[in-house]
Amino acid sequence: MPEIESHDFDVVVIGAGGAGLRAAIEAKGRGLRTALVCKSLLGKAHTVMAEGGAAAALGNVYPEDNWQVHFRDTMRGGKLLNNWRMAELHAKEAPDRINELESWGALFDRTPDGRILQRDFGGHRYARLAHVGDRTGLEMIRTLQQRAVAMDIDVFMECKILRLLTDGSGQMSGAVGYWRATGEPVSFTARAIVLATGGIGRSWKYTTNSWESTGDGDAMAFWAGADLIDMEAVQFHPTGMVWPMSVRGLLVTEGVRGDGGVLRNSEGKRFMFDYIPEMFAAETADTEAEADRWYDDHANNRRPPELLPRDEVARSINAEVKAGRGSPHGGVFLDIATRRSAEYIHRRLPSMYHQFKELAGVDITTEAMEVGPTCHYMMGGVRVEADTAATTVAGLFAAGEVAAGLHGANRLGGNSLSDLIVFGRRAGMGASDYAEGRSGDPSVDPAEIDTVLAEAFAPLGREGADSPYDVQHDLQETMQSLVGIIRTESELVEAIDKIGELRERAGRVSVKGGRAYNPGWNLATDLPSMLTVSLAVAKGALDRRESRGGHTRDDYPKPDPALGKINLVQRLVDGEHTITPEELPTMPAELAVLLEEGH
């Protein structure tokens, strides 16, 4: 193949959401030659869609809040499958990172005494989410983007990375991809690489995720030999829109419930009171009166069951619909109209108002919304070392949704945005340290690059009946129906078979048109990662024979204490996809006591 465009950097960050931006800012701040690569335009990454807020124990609204309580909430929400060290660092560092955003220009909503206001969210004991109305992700990404621009970081927009490249020593050395505008290839050599590619939700039919969330980072890390953990831990958000069909799956922020909204079934009943699990019984209100008092007085009342962790609420909604008590379009009702004034709703939830008004013709200040579970967030992913964000491949780092560990089996709302800035920064530091101390200059193998590109370009010339859209469609149907919110052995086995067939079909898809800005071809190059990651999710789900957090098995409805102590680790060994149980890191006693009741 002829010479291709190539670039040399100290640190290449793949992904320009909150995590990637924060990592690049750190590396650039260290004076390293830093590149930031993303599939979309700068500022459009998934982070922009985050609504409710970023969790940090600032203690501005409840002075009794502190990192210990945040740590506890995160671990309990994650059903203790979390990497304790990540949860500790996250709880300790989130407040500094939020304050840092403010010093970079972010304008958060304020308390009456002028500090950053915090809102209530599920699973958080205190009002903890720093926010800007319901567009917190936009504020975060714009602040970081403007900071990156001010620092003159090299940005490669609409550039899709296909594969990571290691050198003879096994160190991460570069990456290869193409420009979407022209379809021309581009390669990078790098002393260290940070993956910040976000989520995997695009493989489900009903999802809050954008076209970008195809799990490229998880797949590329896996192909490069890195470990993936907890791949079965997929979060279904309890409240997605269910109607009209064209917006089915679109997120309805948990902020609606945090601000007073309640869930009702077709009989008008607040059914969440029937689904309070043992683990949270002591801290959850059991009468409507107590739940309603809680909004104004957290100290003397327990929280409403609508604000249980997401896995609990999603399962409960699912059960109500199954029992025939759903709404006309197969969801349940989320009602804030009868509970808060129109003025309050407009101020607190402006984009939800807008979204329902314009897309569903529903006025949320006078009518209830119809909502149901939707695929939302990937807790599992690339295994990282807590302090440095290093993966198990030398020179490769990962942060944000693509990395695993912090959230365990279930993520609390608001803990992702804070994750991005805490571990984005740490990944930037880890990668910078590695780049500075690296032995030997990175080199990439041109023959390997040629092979990767040849494979990527193959669908363009090929004759064949299958379009990449058909394969994507069938994958989404498969994952939705067989690897969805409630799972069972026979269906998972069937899913694994089907994914195998889809992989064969994906190898034969043909695409019309040329390379220049061709979405059909772009999708064809996303399919290998979607399929690899889907397979890993199904395999993990099959092997975890228990229910824990986001992973629910019909045939094993209870958590299994023995399985609660292991991660399922997936890796390629001599070309073979393996899955092995490995012990979780042990938590020091002084942290373990924080998890007990009363703390």
Residue with smallest beta-carbon separation from ligand FAD: 17
Is 24 a binder of ligand FAD (CB under 6 A)? no
Using CB distances below 5 to 8 A depending on partner kind, what does residue 518 bind out of other proteins, ligand FAD, none?
other proteins
Within residues 167-186, the interface with ligand FAD by CB under 6 A covers: 177
Under DSSP, the state recorded for 404 is E
CB of 31 to other proteins, least distance (A): 18
Is 383 a binder of ligand FAD (CB under 6 A)? no
Are the C-beta atoms of residues 262 and 303 closer than 8 Å to each other? no
Among 31, 169, 181, 578, binds other proteins (CB under 8 A): 181
The one-letter amino acid code at 533 reads V
Using CB distances below 5 to 8 A depending on partner kind, what does residue 417 bind out of other proteins, ligand FAD, none?
ligand FAD
- Identify the active-site residue in 119, 128, 257, 303: 257
Is 197 a binder of ligand FAD (CB under 6 A)? yes
What residues contact 386, with CB distance under 8 A and at least 6 apart? 83, 85, 86, 89, 405
Computed on alpha carbons and rounded to an integer, the radius of gyration of the chain in Å comes to 23
Using CB distances below 5 to 8 A depending on partner kind, what does residue 542 bind out of ligand FAD, other proteins, none?
none
Binding mask 408-447 for ligand FAD (x = CB under 6 A): -----xxxxx--x---------------------------
What length does the chain have? 599
Q: Which is nearer to ligand FAD, 38 or 81 (CB)?
A: 38
Q: Which is nearer to other proteins, 51 or 320 (CB)?
A: 51
And the tokens for 549? 């957090």
Please report where in the chains the tokens 């959230």 appear, as a residue: 407
**Euclidean distance between CA atoms 253 and 507, whole angstroms:** 38
Is 40 a binder of ligand FAD (CB under 6 A)? yes
- Identify the active-site residue in 125, 131, 163, 237: 237
Q: Which residues pair with 332 in a beta bridge?
A: 371
**Euclidean distance between CA atoms 183 and 524, whole angstroms:** 13
And the tokens for 411? 């993520």
Is 18 a binder of ligand FAD (CB under 6 A)? yes
Based on the number of CB atoms within 10 Å of its own CB, is 346 exposed (0-12), middle (13-18) or buried (19 or more)? middle
**Euclidean distance between CA atoms 83 and 90, whole angstroms:** 11
CB of 245 to other proteins, least distance (A): 7
Using CB distances below 5 to 8 A depending on partner kind, what does residue 15 bind out of other proteins, ligand FAD, none?
ligand FAD
And the tokens for 239? 């409240």
Using CB distances below 5 to 8 A depending on partner kind, what does residue 19 bind out of ligand FAD, other proteins, none?
ligand FAD
CB of 115 to other proteins, least distance (A): 5
Is 358 a binder of other proteins (CB under 8 A)? yes
Within residues 518-537, the interface with other proteins by CB under 8 A covers: 518-521, 523
Is 480 a binder of other proteins (CB under 8 A)? no
Among 31, 110, 281, 454, binds other proteins (CB under 8 A): 110
Residue of 46, 37, 53, 30 lying closest to 209 (CA atoms):
46
Among 24, 25, 46, 233, binds ligand FAD (CB under 6 A): 46
The one-letter amino acid code at 86 reads M
- Under the phi-then-psi rule, with left for phi > 0, alpha for psi from -120 to 50, and beta for the rest, what region is 194? beta
Among 43, 53, 77, 549, binds ligand FAD (CB under 6 A): 53
What is the size of the binding site for ligand FAD (CB under 6 A)? 44
Using CB distances below 5 to 8 A depending on partner kind, what does residue 156 bind out of ligand FAD, other proteins, none?
none
Residue of 226, 575, 188 lying closest to 397 (CA atoms):
226
User: Is the C-alpha dihedral spanning 590, 592, 593, 594 positive or negative?
Assistant: positive
**Euclidean distance between CA atoms 379 and 358, whole angstroms:** 32
Using CB distances below 5 to 8 A depending on partner kind, what does residue 37 bind out of other proteins, ligand FAD, none?
ligand FAD
What residues contact 562, with CB distance under 8 A and at least 6 apart? none
Phi, psi of 432, rounded to the nearest 5 degrees: -65, -45
CB of 40 to other proteins, least distance (A): 6
Q: How far is CA 167 from CA 81, 224, 503, in A?
A: 34, 11, 28
Residue of 193, 180, 104, 203 lying closest to 145 (CA atoms):
104
Using CB distances below 5 to 8 A depending on partner kind, what does residue 265 bind out of ligand FAD, other proteins, none?
none
Residue of 532, 521, 531 lying closest to 457 (CA atoms):
521
| 257 assigned to active site | yes
Is 131 a binder of other proteins (CB under 8 A)? no
**Euclidean distance between CA atoms 403 and 79, whole angstroms:** 18
Please report where in the chains the tokens 């061709």 appear, as a residue: 518
Enumerate the active-site residues.
Answer: 237, 257
List of residues contacting other proteins (CB under 8 A) = 40-46, 48-49, 99, 102-105, 107-110, 112-115, 117, 132-133, 135, 137-139, 142, 146-147, 149-150, 152, 155, 157, 181, 210-212, 243-247, 250-251, 351, 354-355, 358-360, 467-470, 473, 511-514, 516-521, 523
Q: Which residues bind ligand FAD (CB under 6 A)?
A: 14-20, 37-40, 45-47, 49-54, 136-137, 160-161, 177, 196-199, 208-209, 212, 216, 251, 377, 400-402, 413-417, 420
